[in-house]
Chain A
Amino acid sequence: MPVYALEIIVVALGILMLMLDAFAKLEDKRSIAWLGMLGLIVVFGLLFRVEMPDAEAAKASFWNFYSPTGGLSLYFKGIAVLTTIIVLIMAADHSPVIVSNTANPEPGAHPQAGLGEFFALPLFACAGLMWMASANNLVSIFVSLELVTITFYVLVAYMRRNVGSLEAGVKYLILGALSTGFLVYGFAWLFGITGSMDLGEIKTALADSSVNPTAALFAFALILVAMAFKVGAAPFHMWVPDVYQGAPTPITAFLSVGSKAAGFVVFIRLSGMFLSSEFLVGKVSMILGVIAVLTLLIGNLVAIPQKNFKRLLAYSSIAHAGFLIMALACSPKVSKAGESLSPTNVIAFYLGAYLLMTLLAFLVMTTVRRRVSGEDFDAYKGLAKRSPFLAFALLISMASLAGIPLTAGFFGKLFVFTLAVQDSQWVLLTVGLIGAAAGFYYYLKIVASMYLEKAEGSETVANYAISIPARIAMIILIVAIIAAGVMPNLIFGLL
């Protein structure tokens, strides 16, 4: 199976789901989500059997836009597919909330009107994320990024009868459009300086001594604004808490894992071009270091007083972006030394671990949301009494997010700190350690309230109905977090 067939299958599946929604008389529209989920599981299996083009075939114009090499791009395609599978499971579980916030009560309409598109649109976003993972040209980076972003504009504002969701949609749309403007302007400068759209050619041109450092740094700054927006790094993180809180929970999970991971692939590729030039590397890694310090401080310290679980995860996602950029800022010297622990590998590992633990937290959140409205901390008080399994799943997720040993998150942070030590980035290391320590406090606060506090009100024992796919997904994620926390080579083996 040629590698480009994967995205075609995903898009075809998305169109099939739209058609089923429009023309098939379905009793329960959730079957569309199950179809999409099964299809994506097949695509995930196919990821392991793809063929890369040989040298002769790779000369076709298509491969100017689509990286003909596997490895990292296949890994990130896998992240996109896995995220979408779990997002579909959550979306199916979350469907009563979606329906009550979208449908117009009208006699004769399907009781789940407007739900089919909610299941189909993530497939198109997934295809966009997969294209981003192997984009090797400014043009293909831009169009796939826009495909993802525009799908997210729709999905974030999907609960159109809910003020919070609409507010999130408008904020995301305006700020996203602004950041796209910066990205295009940066690309234009880059094209003006180097005369090429191809990442490889730009890299060679930037490494040449004739390149004008001021113009190149300006192009980098413009691109950095857009990329920092996409991955939620300070000082361009303002949208994250509001959008995460307002968006439907499955979409928040999609944003915080899928969009961030694909954003980081593009970020690695784009900043890699500047970092490999010896004339620019010093300033570029200094700028990245400043962004990392700001993001770590803001993400971790502002997370401490949060009272809403979704908002907490939003700040946690900013904080994790800080750790990832910290690894990126360590890049240059370390990768020259030829260590096996390259920044790219560390970022890939961290994002893999981040996927497991964040999606687990969101799965628990959607399940709890079916019984209790809202996502405030109060809903989680005494959860261990009401549903030991959910509480345990959240415990594992929070422990891993905090970075406790024997979980995947521990190795993620450990590798980042190792990079910082090897590169003697002491300021970054100190700020990173402060951030990690703050993380222990706010993540474990939730765990403590689940296990030690009593629930308010009369509801003591309630059957939290966990749907079968959600239960299977949670068990797989728990096992994967612990497995990767004991044997990190499991994830490195996939790279």
Chain B
Amino acid sequence: MPFFFYFFSALALIGGIGVVVYRNPVTAAFSMIVSFLGLAALFILLNAYLVGILQILVYAGAIMVLFLFIIMLLDVREETGKSFPFTAIAGAGTIGVGFIALLIVVLTKSDIGAISAPVLAVGDAATSDVHQIGIKLFSEYWFPIQIVGILLLVATVGVVVLSKKELK
């Protein structure tokens, strides 16, 4: 259904642009939620239900609520009067437009239709997405999961060390 694809892609992009454009941090955070919803819908269109739902629950739900709490608790004000030099805007614009142009050229030249997306989550259709992904993660992919566990430990220690008011 190309219509839904374009609709939700546009939603994700508009949300993303909103994050950058709005100067009020609360409005920017809400634009980010819109962008996440668009992305979640795209995942669901690709039959990745679990990823789509997680996107909504974890990102649009938990993480964004945390963001909003912090913004409100710290009473972050609207950014005012900060303008960027022309060279910075020109440079960023050139890189952005150049990258999009490159992407268009690559997409037209690389005959993307011929590249058949590999089917990942196979197995018996009776079991749900969650089961299949869980089994994959904890059997075949257990090793990367362990490394991610250590990564989370490091991140936790790091956050405490960097942000605790008084170290003991």
Is the Cβ of A212 less than 8 Å from the Cβ of B150?
Answer: no
Measured between beta carbons, the chain A residues less than 8 angstroms from B111 are 212
Measured between beta carbons, the chain A residues less than 8 angstroms from B69 are none
CA–CA, A128 and B154, complex, Å: 11
Q: Contacts A106-B166, A139-B141, A158-B162 hold; do A117 and B157 have CB atoms under 8 A apart? A: yes
The closest CB in chain A to the CB of B105 belongs to A214
Interfacial residues of chain B within 55-98, with CB under 8 A of chain A in the complex? none
CA–CA, A104 and B116, complex, Å: 58
Measured between beta carbons, the chain A residues less than 8 angstroms from B153 are 15, 124
Is the Cβ of B167 less than 8 Å from the Cβ of A11?
Answer: no
Is the Cβ of B143 less than 8 Å from the Cβ of A147?
Answer: no
Measured between beta carbons, the chain A residues less than 8 angstroms from B102 are 218
* Interface segment out of the listed A36-44, A108-116, A377-385: A108-116
CA–CA, A19 and B140, complex, Å: 31
The closest CB in chain B to the CB of A141 belongs to B144
* Interface segment out of the listed A149-157, A245-253, A396-404, A451-459: A149-157
Give min CB distance, A203 to chain B, whole Å.
17
Give min CB distance, A299 to chain B, whole Å.
22
Measured between beta carbons, the chain A residues less than 8 angstroms from B141 are 139
Measured between beta carbons, the chain A residues less than 8 angstroms from B118 are 191, 195-196
CA–CA, A151 and B141, complex, Å: 22
Is the Cβ of B167 less than 8 Å from the Cβ of A102?
Answer: yes
CA–CA, A153 and B158, complex, Å: 9
**Bitwise interface map of A from 136 to 172 toward B, beta carbon under 8 Å scored 1, else 0:** 0001100110110011011001101000000000000
B148 within 8 A of A: yes
Q: Contacts A140-B147, A218-B106 hold; do A193 and B115 have CB atoms under 8 A apart? A: yes
Give min CB distance, A483 to chain B, whole Å.
36
Measured between beta carbons, the chain A residues less than 8 angstroms from B165 are 104
B127 within 8 A of A: no
A389 within 8 A of B: no
A199 within 8 A of B: no
Is the Cβ of B115 less than 8 Å from the Cβ of A192?
Answer: yes
**Bitwise interface map of B from 146 to 165 toward A, beta carbon under 8 Å scored 1, else 0:** 01101101110110011001
A131 within 8 A of B: yes
Measured between beta carbons, the chain B residues less than 8 angstroms from A195 are 116, 118
Given A110, A150, A191, A214, which contacts B158 in the complex, CB threshold below 8 Å? Answer: A150
Given A102, A118, A131, which contacts B147 in the complex, CB threshold below 8 Å? Answer: A131
Given A102, A120, A215, which contacts B106 in the complex, CB threshold below 8 Å? Answer: A215
Give min CB distance, A195 to chain B, whole Å.
4
Residues of B within 8 A of A (CB): 102, 106, 109-112, 114-118, 139-144, 147-148, 150-151, 153-155, 157-158, 161-162, 165-168
Q: What would be 17 A-B contacts, judged by CB atoms less than 8 Å apart?
A: A65-B143, A66-B143, A103-B167, A104-B165, A104-B167, A124-B153, A131-B147, A140-B147, A143-B147, A150-B155, A151-B154, A151-B158, A153-B158, A154-B158, A192-B115, A196-B118, A214-B109
Residues of A within 8 A of B (CB): 11, 15, 18, 61-62, 64-66, 102-104, 106, 109-110, 113-114, 117-118, 120-121, 124, 127-128, 131, 139-140, 143-144, 146-147, 150-151, 153-154, 157-158, 160, 191-193, 195-196, 212, 214-215, 218
